Amino acid sequence: MLTLSSQFCTKLISSFKDLRTIYLLEEFCPGGTVLGMLQRQQGPPTLKPTCAGNVLGCVILGLRCCHDHNILVRALAPENLFIDANGLIKLGVFEYSKRIMPGEFTMTVCGSQEFMPPEQMYGHGQTLASDFWSVGCLMYELLTGVTPFSDPLGSILNVHGNILQGINDRILSSISIDDNAGQLAKEVVEGLLQNNAEDRLGAKDFNDLQQHLWFGRVNVDMNELESGRFSSGEPDWKHLFSSTTLLLFYDTARVVMYLHMQSFSFPQN
């Protein structure tokens, strides 16, 4: 984490350990998590296209920094994405991350069940391209309110089965295509959720994802965003928190604090 200088990744403040656990103390992000943002929406837990584009754009820029340092993230679910005082989305959970050099792969099974790529389940090994699958799952959830391979009964076995079956027209039909932006969104999701990791959008050239036409169509300027500015002014979610109160909206948090601590178990009352 010390090698990551991107404003789209949380900064490591300190680290320490005891006999059982390694603790990572990271910068405080007063806006809580993207999951909390979704849960506070009025109506379905979805985001408008421009809002979703800004969230996804931040994630992609943070992911690019990680991949430039050969870091496989494996933690791109909404509960692992934090909102700083300026409204920027930051990658913030690196306990599953691993440095992988070109030509290498890792066999570890970890991460959010509904975001796991098929190569992880098959035991074929993961490369940096495995992260693009998670980006596809995230984008789908931001636009539809559910993950693409979720099971109505909550069965993890069924989720795994759905992942192994892969993307299909039934899943893609949940993405609204009432305009050209919707059709482009469907194209991005389908490109990211390819069973063959090397065929995923961004796997051969990161710019294929970062500069996709969908971002422009939903009024997201990736060059502006890379500079920390939102082309639409303040992000749509900025009103959900106040940076002056330092109130933490974490979904499972039970305390107000100035820093969030990864791998630390808070009391449940």
Give the range among 19-23, 53-57, 71-75, 196-200 with minimum mean pLDDT.
19-23
Q: How confident is the model at residue 264, as a pLDDT?
A: 40
Distance CA 4, CA 11 (A): 8
Average pLDDT of the chain?
Answer: 86
Residue 6 has pLDDT above 50, yes or no: yes
Which tops the pLDDT comparison, 11 or 188? 188
Q: What is the pTM of this model?
A: 0.87
Residue 253 has pLDDT above 90, yes or no: no
* Fold entry, domain 34-82+91-238: Transferase(Phosphotransferase); domain 1 (1.10.510)
Which tops the pLDDT comparison, 68 or 3? 68
Angle, helices 180-192/49-68, rounded to nearest 10 degrees: 30
Per-domain residue ranges for the chain? 34-82+91-238
Q: How confident is the model at residue 239, as a pLDDT?
A: 61
Q: 98-111 in b/e burial notation, b at 16+ Cβ within 10 A?
A: eebeeeeebeeeeb
Q: What is the pLDDT of residues 131-144, one digit of tens each?
A: 999 999 999 999 99
